[in-house]
Structure 1
C-alpha cells in the first residue's frame, strides 16, 4: 500500500576478528556502559563524515558535520542521494531545506534520532526487554570498534547491533535485526572525530532561499494525560514519554501526537480528525522502509496513524490500544 502522509523529518525520517562472548552478568554491565557512551559521545565530540543507510535494497548516502561549543550543539546533514534534503540543527531548533519544493521547514527537535545520535540515555528498563552482550571488535571507517548486541526477550521488538568507537564512544555502525536478518543499517564510510570543525562545513549560506516558502511546524507540549486520547494496556516494556499537539507538513490543522518508547525503539501515534470531504482512511498496515512500520485505523471520525521501529504485531497492539476518554 501507499504510505500515508508522515512528518517530513520522518523521511530523514524517514567490519578485525570477533572474540568469544563473556559471561552474561559481566557482559550486561559492560554493554550497559557502552550504551551510556553511545548516548553521551555526540554531546562531547566534534565529527565530520559520510555515512550510508541501507534498507530493503535501497542505499542512501549522507554527509554529516557536528560541532560542540560549550553547551551548544550544531549539526548539518546533507542527503546526497535521491531527493535533495539538508537538515540543520542548532540545539533543539531544526530546519529542513527542501530545494525541490523550495520550502524550509522549522521545528523543535523532540525525540528526533539521527545517526549517530540514535540513543537516549539508557535506563535499567533495558534489562527487562533485551539481553545484552559484548561481542567482538572490528574496524569501521578506519576506527577500532567494539560491537555489542541487544537481543529481544520477546517478539515485540527488533534486535540491535552497535559498533562503538573505542576511543570516543561514538557510534560507528548500527543495525536493526529480525532474528539474524538485517532490517536496516547505518554505517560510516569515512569519519574524522575530535578535530576542529571548519565553520564553512556548517554554513547554509550557499542555499539560496529567496522566494522559498517558510513552514513553521509548531509543537505544543502537554502534560501526560492532558490529551483526550489515551492508551489502554501497552505491550510489555513500552512507556509513554510525551504528549503534544503539532503542526505537520502538508496539514492545515494541529494534530495530536503521543510518543512511546522501550528505551531503544520509539513509536509515535498521530491522531487527526477526518473531515466530511476527506477520503476515508483505509485501515490496515502500510509499507515503509527498513525498521519503520505503519498501522492505520479509524476511531470516532479520527484517523489514528501509528508509526514506529517495531514489528507489525507490536505496531498493531499499540495502535489498537488508543481510545478516546469520555
Structure 2
C-alpha cells in the first residue's frame, strides 16, 4: 500500500510541476487556439492598414468532426475563401475558382489563430498586459514578443468568456502598429454551425493536384537565419513575363514567413534597394554576378541581414532552370 501511495504522490507532483511550467499567458493562448478550432462562431471584423480599412466576416464551425471555415470580403468585388476539412477553395475576381489541399486558409486573419502555440513558446515571450474591453466584451490582453528582436510582435485581446481573439495589433520593432485586426461583433451559437453545414452540400471546384517534383538542390544557402525559421520549400522557375530564371527558398517560424530569391544580375539590377509596405519588406542587393532578394513579413534590418548571409556552395552561376518548370504556390500568411 505504501509504494502505491508514494507513486500516486509522485504522479501528482509531476502533474503540478508540469502545470506550473506553463505561464498563465501561455495557457490563455492555448485556450484561444482551442476555442478557434472547436467553437461554432461568427466574427465580423475590420482589417486596418496604414492607408485602408477592409471589412470582412469569418464563420467557423465543426461539421461531422471537420473544421469548416468561410471568409467573405464585404466591400469591393465579391471574394470568398471556404474551408472544408483539409480542402480550401478560393474565389477571386478575374481568375477561375480553385481548390487546394491544406488546413490553413491564406486570408486576412491573424496568423496566430492558425499556429502551434507550443512551437511559438520557444521563440516568443508571452507577457500578460492586464484586462481591457474590446468589441463589447471583457478581454485579457497578452503581448507575443520575440526573444531575439528580429521579427514583429503582436498584442492580443482575448474574450474572457469565449476565449476567441477579438483584436490583434501587429507591431514593428519600435512598438508602432503596422496593422490591426479588430472584431466588431462576436456571435457564438449552434446556428452558425447550421449555416456552415450547408457548405457540405455545395459543389466546389475540384482539388488542384500539383505534379510531384524531386527535391530541388540549390548551389547556395542562407547562413544567418533568425532562430526558429525553417525552410518550407525550395524551387526553380522562370518569371512569367521576362522568362528570367529564378531560384527561391521559403522560410517560416510558424507565425511569420519570408522568401529568398536568387537570379543572375542584369542591366536592370540595382546595387541595393529597400522597400517596406506595411508588414511586407523587400530587400535586394548584388552579390558577385547574382541578385539576392528577400521578400516577406520581417523587419527591414532582418531582411538585410538574411540577404547578406547568402553564401554559395559552388561558384555563383546562372540558375539552371528546366524549361517550363512551374513555380509552386506560396502559402504565406495574409
TM-score between the two structures when normalised by the length of structure 1: 0.70
Match status 1:268 vs 2:258:
yes
Tell me the CA shift for residue 177 of structure 1: 1.2
Cα distance change on mapping 1:95 and 1:29 into 2, 3 Å: same
The residue number in structure 2 matching 1:307 is 295
Match status 1:285 vs 2:274:
yes
Unaligned stretches of 5+ residues in structure 2? 1-19, 315-334
Alpha-carbon separation, structure 1, partners of 2:142 and 2:252: 20
The residue number in structure 2 matching 1:193 is 188
Match status 1:242 vs 2:232:
yes
Tell me the CA shift for residue 130 of structure 1: 3.6
- Over residues 185-222 of structure 1, what are the superposed CA-to-partner deviations in whole Å (9 max), with x where a residue is unaligned? 1011112124332336964999999xxxx994837587
Tell me the CA shift for residue 312 of structure 1: 0.6
Q: Tell whether the 8 Å contact from 1:116 to 1:170 is kept in structure 2 after alignment.
A: no
The residue number in structure 1 matching 2:163 is 169
Answer with 214-223 or 87-96: which moved more: 214-223
Alpha-carbon separation, structure 1, partners of 2:239 and 2:36: 28
The residue number in structure 2 matching 1:218 is 210
**Greater per-residue helix proportion:** 2
Tell me the CA shift for residue 296 of structure 1: 4.0
The residue number in structure 2 matching 1:228 is 218
Q: Tell whether the 8 Å contact from 1:75 to 1:88 is kept in structure 2 after alignment.
A: yes
Alpha-carbon separation, structure 2, partners of 1:93 and 1:153: 34
Tell me the CA shift for residue 159 of structure 1: 2.2
Q: Tell whether the 8 Å contact from 1:48 to 1:192 is kept in structure 2 after alignment.
A: yes
Tell me the CA shift for residue 29 of structure 1: 0.8
Number of residue pairs the alignment of both structures matches: 289
Query: Of 99, 103, 107, which residue of structure 2 is paired with 1:106?
Result: 99
Answer with 81-90 or 29-38: which moved more: 81-90
Instruction: Report 1:140-151 matches (<5 A).
Output: 140-151=134-145
The residue number in structure 2 matching 1:85 is 79
Q: Tell whether the 8 Å contact from 1:126 to 1:263 is kept in structure 2 after alignment.
A: no
Tell me the CA shift for residue 156 of structure 1: 1.2
The residue number in structure 2 matching 1:8 is none
TM-score between the two structures when normalised by the length of structure 2: 0.69
3-state SS of paired residue (2:298): coil
**Looking at CA atoms only, which structure, 1 or 2, has the larger radius of gyration?**
2
Tell me the CA shift for residue 50 of structure 1: 1.2
3-state SS of paired residue (2:121): helix
3-state SS of paired residue (1:218): coil
Answer with 308-317 or 290-299: which moved more: 290-299
Alpha-carbon separation, structure 2, partners of 1:104 and 1:286: 31
Tell me the CA shift for residue 164 of structure 1: 1.3
Unaligned stretches of 5+ residues in structure 1? 1-25
3-state SS of paired residue (1:103): coil
**RMSD value over aligned CA atoms?**
4.2
Query: Of 177, 181, 184, which residue of structure 2 is paired with 1:182?
Result: 177
Q: Tell whether the 8 Å contact from 1:296 to 1:319 is kept in structure 2 after alignment.
A: yes
The residue number in structure 2 matching 1:16 is none
Match status 1:30 vs 2:24:
yes
Alpha-carbon separation, structure 2, partners of 1:272 and 1:231: 10
Match status 1:67 vs 2:57:
no
Cα distance change on mapping 1:94 and 1:230 into 2, 3 Å: farther
